[in-house]
Amino acid sequence: MDYKIELIPLAVSDVDRSVAFYGDGLGWSVDHDRTVSPELRFVQVTPPGSACSICFGIGLEMMPAGSSQFIQVVVADADAALAELRGRGIACEGVDEQPWGRFVHFQDPDGNRWALQQIVIPS
């Protein structure tokens, strides 16, 4: 049996700010942004090349307010990922070299943390 992760919820305090960060800032696809009522809004965003999306909004009750996620994503080249993030004005540190991978870390305006990992295969 296959298990495919397709959607990860994020808690955000300002939906419009998060749409701007993920859509305009990171350049990720804003797949859905639907306001059903003032109490219900659903936004789904997908990183380029990913089969898994993130979602946030108003009235979704998927995560407690004020909580945060840590999400790790695999990239082919940590240096290229760092350059792209910096080129888009996203605050991030340099590449973190570890024996099990090369990582670039950043966070969204609500403190949801992301690690972009280049997998290192020992020789």
Q: What are 19-66's pLDDT values in tens digits?
A: 999 999 999 999 999 999 999 999 999 999 999 999 999 999 888 878
Domain with residue 101: its CATH number is 3.10.180.10
Residue 71's pLDDT is what? 96
Q: What are 71-119's pLDDT values in tens digits?
A: 999 999 999 999 999 999 999 989 999 999 999 999 999 999 999 999 9
**DSSP H or E run through 19:** helix 15-19
CB neighbour list of residue 16: distance below 8 Å, 6 or more residues apart: none
Answering whether pTM is above 0.75, one says yes
Q: 28 is in which domain, residue-wise?
A: 7-118
Residue 1 in domain: no
Q: How many domains does the chain have?
A: 1
Contact 73, 98 (CB under 8 A): no
Residue 121's pLDDT is what? 82
Residue 107, sorted as left (phi over 0), alpha (psi -120 to 50) or beta, turns out to be: beta
Contact 38, 63 (CB under 8 A): no
